[in-house]
Amino acid sequence: MNAAVRDAFNEQIKQELYSGYLYLSMSAHFDQENLPGFAHWMRLQAQEELGHGMRLFDYVLRRGAKVELRGIDAPQTDFGPPLSVVESVLEHERAVTGMIHRLFELSGQEGDWAAQQELQWFIAEQVEEEDSAATARDQVRMAGEDLSALLMLDQQFGSRVAEPEQA
């Protein structure tokens, strides 16, 4: 792994951990807003993001390159109504997709084909992340001002289970 690719992977480890931090903050927000199902869902998302960070961490180590952990920014703590939170999730996932694509591009420019192969997993994962965030956003939008619909969604999100780690 050359220095440019290594630095970019180290940066992405931070970004994945930041995503976990952001979703944990959203989880706390939902818990305080008496939406335990939404809180549970965001907690699962946070764990998934930590898993992404660890996957990159392990990959850098496997390549014999130096892991350099960077400072993680503090996530926001004030969020608006449920619809704006799920809109933020989708927006955030789209931004992460852009980061992964740029990392893939850089790996290609640097001739690091192995890194590109590892990143294929993340490219596919981002399609799933955006799809599930968009579905949640659409469902919350459909609930609109109907509180009973929102509570039904909360129950639905509360029954989600962690997805098994794919190879």
User: Is the CB of 49 or the CB of 154 nearer to Mg ion?
Assistant: 49
Q: What element of type H or E holds 117?
A: helix 113-143
Give least dist CB 113 to Mg ion, A.
22
Give least dist CB 115 to Mg ion, A.
17
User: Is the CB of 63 or the CB of 94 nearer to Mg ion?
Assistant: 94
User: Is the CB of 53 or the CB of 150 nearer to Mg ion?
Assistant: 53
Burial class of residue 21 (count of CB atoms within 10 Å of its CB; 0-12, 13-18, 19+): middle
User: Is the CB of 12 or the CB of 116 nearer to Mg ion?
Assistant: 12
Contact range with Mg ion by CB under 5 A, out of 44-52, 77-85, 135-143, 159-167 = 44-52
Residue located via tokens 């960077």? 70
Could you tell me how many residues of this chain bind Mg ion (CB under 5 A)?
Answer: 3
**Which residues 77-96 are close enough to bind Mg ion by CB under 5 A?**
none
Give least dist CB 48 to Mg ion, A.
7
Instruction: Check residue 40 for interaction with Mg ion (CB under 5 A).
Output: no
**Which residues 4-33 are close enough to bind Mg ion by CB under 5 A?**
16
User: Is the CB of 52 or the CB of 137 nearer to Mg ion?
Assistant: 52
Q: What element of type H or E holds 143?
A: helix 113-143
The contacts found for 69-74 with CB under 8 angstroms, 24 or more apart, are 69/10, 69/13, 69/14, 70/10, 70/11, 70/13, 70/14, 71/14, 72/14, 72/17, 72/18, 72/21, 73/18, 73/21, 74/21
The rounded distance, in Å, linking the Cα atoms of 86 and 133 is 7
Among 43, 52, 92, 137, the residue binding Mg ion under the rule CB under 5 A is 52
The region, left, alpha or beta by phi > 0 then psi within -120 to 50, assigned to residue 166 is beta
Q: Interface with Mg ion by CB under 5 A: which residues? A: 16, 49, 52
